[in-house]
Amino acid sequence: MKITAIHVYQVDLPLLEGRYTWSDGRYVDVFDSTVVEIETDTELRGYGEVCPLGPFYLPAFGAGARAGIGELAPHLLGLDPTALGPLNNVMDTALLGHPYVKSAIDMACWDLLGKSCGRSVCDLLGGRHGQSIELYRAISQRPAAEMADNVAGYRDQGYRKFQLKVGGDPAEDIARIRAAAGVLQSGETLIADANTGWRVDDAARVVKAVQDIDVYIEQPCMSYEHCVSIRRRTALPFILDENIDGIDALLRACNDKAMDAINLKISKVGGISKARLIRDVCVSQNIPMTIEDSWGGDIITAAIAHLAHSTPERCRFSATDFNSYVTVRNASGAPVREAGAMLAGASPGLGIEPDFDNLGKSVATYS
Ligand code: MG
């Protein structure tokens, strides 16, 4: 099989809640998502998606994804999309860094590999563990009482893990964590995710003030060193996210015992192939993972489900059903949340069919 053309689509994904707000007052109302269609010399086509969380969460942005795909496309035409190792080598040689640009292409090639052999991506990533994948719900940053109300509201939708968006004023964040912990029920899990937003002294104040609460602390500060400093000062379970941007960062953090769990985002590390390597190292080290992406629609939700469902349950902390956060469908066949859980489809590849009514005309074609 050979790649004969790459088509790029841009689709806006408005947030169902209206606005998603996290640390430092950053927010997004409409997510700028990019869908890649890889055409081959067979009847098969593969699909992938990349959707940064605005231009100021990770070093990634929508127009950057599309420009980067244009940079890579001439190097990929004529390659076998099912030979994922050589394909990723070509991408890494042609364009240094920019992992998020490569993510949608790698994802589309996994879709093609599955379709070419009649197996789901979940099967190809090692096979299905357990019946379904437990999801968490991100609780957008609001006043403390409102966030506690939203925890209760999302519990009614079946979620049992709640990730509070903190990383703002430390006194308000302490109130947010206490208010949410106050409405928590038996068997539920609370995570306070600062998304790099706390200064190290503020983070120290927060973890000390909530030390009596059963809460995970996620990525308190921007720098790895400051995160490790906070980690050494608290007995609370500790998650690293933004700092774990590749296998080197993971190995360093494992060596430093810098975290109890990680957040693995597919596009942050460069696609399913590189996420699988990190996933497998975490499994070997018994490190639990939240498996997700920076954001996305149906195609990314399907990719998350395949990676998460092929991960042993003991190392699966949670995952995200981004397609339930937004109002626009970019594909059919993606997982649909039921009772706070989802599962990977059994159809070949990612198991999705793109919705061209919502994708519209391609914004670029390389052939
Ligand atoms: Mg996080």
Q: What is the pLDDT of residues 132-151, one digit of tens each?
A: 999 999 999 999 999 999 99
Residues 6 or more apart from 136 whose CB is under 8 A from it? 159, 161, 162, 163, 189, 191, 290, 318, 319, 320
Strands ordered across the beta sheet of 289-292: 136-139, 161-165, 189-193, 216-218, 238-240, 261-265, 289-292, 316-319
Does one domain contain both 288 and 187? Answer: yes
Whose CA is closest to 283, among 257, 254, 258, 304?
254
What distance in angstroms lies between residue 218's CA and the mean position of ligand 1's atoms?
Answer: 6
Q: Each residue of 38-72: pLDDT tens digit?
A: 999 999 999 999 999 999 999 999 999 999 999 99
pLDDT of residue 18: 93
Q: What is the DSSP letter of 135?
A: B
Catalytic residue among 102, 115, 161, 265: 265
Domain count of the fold of the chain? 2
Alpha-carbon distance 103 to 146, whole Å? 35
Q: Is 265 a catalytic residue?
A: yes
- Reading the block at residue 330, the tokens are 């970019």
Does one domain contain both 148 and 66? Answer: no
What distance in angstroms lies between residue 54's CA and the mean position of ligand 1's atoms?
Answer: 15
pLDDT of residue 204: 98
Domain with residue 200: its CATH number is: 3.20.20.120
Name the CA dihedral angle for 117, 118, 124, 128, rounded to a multiple of 10 degrees: -160
pLDDT of residue 46: 98
pLDDT of residue 213: 98
The separation between CA 69 and the C-alpha centre of its own chain, rounded to angstroms, equals 20
Q: Is 165 a catalytic residue?
A: yes
Residue 42: which domain range? 3-121+354-366
Does one domain contain both 263 and 346? Answer: yes
What distance in angstroms lies between residue 141's CA and the mean position of ligand 1's atoms?
Answer: 13
User: How many Cβ atoms from other residues are within 10 Å of residue 47's Cβ?
Assistant: 27
Low-confidence residues of the chain: pLDDT under 70:
none
Does one domain contain both 26 and 40? Answer: yes
Does one domain contain both 182 and 105? Answer: no
Catalytic residue among 165, 208, 257, 268: 165
Q: Across the chain, how many H-helices and E-strands are there?
A: 13, 18
